[in-house]
Amino acid sequence: MLSRMLIRIADRARANFAEAVAPFGLPIPLARALLALHEPSSMRSIADFLACDPSYVTGLADQLEERGLVTRQPGADRRIKLVILTPAGHELRERMAEAVYDHGRFAPTIPADKRVQLREILEQLLEDQDKGVRR
Amino acid sequence: MLSRMLIRIADRARANFAEAVAPFGLPIPLARALLALHEPSSMRSIADFLACDPSYVTGLADQLEERGLVTRQPGADRRIKLVILTPAGHELRERMAEAVYDHGRFAPTIPADKRVQLREILEQLLEDQDKGVRR
DNA sequence: TATTGTTATACTCTATAACTATA
DNA sequence: TATAGTTATAGAGTATAACAATA
């Protein structure tokens, strides 16, 4: 079945990610959170990006802060806290992103045209998913 | 990135599975284990199929046994225990498989030819993965 | 000595509920 | 009253290590 295949392959993709970030010594959830920070972000927007509960982001941000990778700054709306990369955080994020990209080159045996097909189909699927298409 | 898309879509596929089996009142891991039992299987082979540690299968089998869905019988090699569906287990498995199949119809908006493309590419990816192709 | 399965335990990831502060 | 974030807690899912029985 299609779903089962998708899940197996995604598991491999996750394992790839884990391998790629392992050398940096960050637990996977922290690595994911760090990579989410392409710009200063509220706790909530991080939660949305990671598809998790905001309460969970609190812990992630705490740990990134302990490691000196981010700081929290109050936003204009003072309920909001902006999570901002420190220079060290920025630098680590760059290096990690590159490692993930290099390591993540998917499916070297799949020819380029097939990969384009795959991307198109996946895009369509994600779109359906966002629109909540019944399946 | 391709991996990220794959993971998002697989998450949706997992959620689909969860929805499909929810009416049967089995926790997800038990549902997966039950569906793995297309034939009498050793603990180890179940672990292989589920891609988990054998020690974890012990707990799954215990719970399926408590629910009267399987029994354990010693194999010819008496180290081996064969997990075998009871009539109730067989019947439940049939119904669940059907529900999963129906619910799991993936991507209704994807035309049939695209779905064929997708299946082909996924098959290739799984093959690479089994062969341990560097990625 | 290697393999099957089990036990006891512990870990990772994550959510829920109740709370505080601001809006 | 509704929203952002936090705290404390709890749960699901799963692995590790040590072990017993069999090969």
For the stretch B97-128, pLDDT in tens is 999 999 877 666 788 899 999 999 999 998 88
Task: Give the HSE-up count for residue B47: Cα atoms under 13 Å, Cβ half-sphere.
Answer: 13
CB B107 within 8 A of CB A128: yes
CB B23 within 8 A of CB B95: no
Q: Which residues contact B53 (CB under 8 A, 6 or more apart)?
A: B47
B3 touches chain A (CB under 8 A): yes
Q: Is the Cα dihedral B69, B70, B71, B72 positive or negative?
A: negative
CB contacts, 8 Å: B7 with chain A: 10, 13-14
Tell me if the pTM is above 0.85.
yes
The whole-number pLDDT of residue B117 equals 92
User: Could you give the percent of chain A with pLDDT greater than 70?
Assistant: 93
Of B20, B100, B15, B3, the closest CA to residue A11 belongs to: B3
Residue of B nearest to A50 (CA): B8
B118 touches chain A (CB under 8 A): yes
Minimum mean pLDDT range among A12-16, A39-43, B100-104 = B100-104
Q: What is the pLDDT of residues B29-88, one digit of tens each?
A: 999 999 999 999 999 999 999 999 999 999 999 999 999 999 999 999 999 999 999 999
CB within 8 Å: A129 and B8: yes
Quickly give B21 CA vs D21 C1' distance in Å: 37
**Greatest Cα pair distance in chain B:** 51
Of B7, B14, B107, the CB nearest to A13: B7
| Alpha carbons A106 and A116: distance in angstroms, whole number | 12
CB contacts, 8 Å: B133 with chain A: 108-109
Residues 42-101 of chain A within 7 A of strand D, judged by CB, are 42-45, 54-55, 57-59, 61-62, 72, 75, 77, 79-82
Number of neighbours of residue B65 by Cβ within 10 angstroms: 15
| The amino acid at B84 | I
Quickly give A56 CA vs C21 C1' distance in Å: 19
CA trace torsion A22, A23, A25, A26 (10° rounding): -50
CB within 8 Å: B124 and A110: yes
Q: Which residues contact B68 (CB under 8 A, 6 or more apart)?
A: B86, B88, B89
CB within 8 Å: B122 and A2: yes
Phi and psi at B104, nearest 5°, equal -85, 0
Confidence check: pLDDT of A135 > 60: no
